[in-house]
Amino acid sequence: MKPHWFFILLSVSAAPRYGTAIQDDVRELSDGNVRLWPATLYGSLEELVGQGWIEEVAEDERPDGISGRERFYRITRAGRLALKREAARLESLASVARTRLGMAGA
Enumerate the domain spans of the chain: 3-104
Whether 26 contacts 34, CB under 8 Å: yes
Question: In this predicted model, what pLDDT tens digit does every residue of 43-98 receive, in sequence order?
Answer: 999 999 999 999 998 876 666 666 667 889 999 999 999 999 999 999 999 999 98
pTM, to two decimals? 0.86
- Residue 1 to residue 65: CA distance in whole angstroms: 34
| 32 φψ region: left (φ > 0), alpha (ψ -120 to 50), beta (else) | left
Q: Of 23, 20, 15, whose CA–CA distance to 7 is shortest? A: 23
Fold classification of 3-104 is Arc Repressor Mutant, subunit A (1.10.10)
Check if the beta carbon of residue 33 is closer than 8 Å to that of residue 11. Answer: no
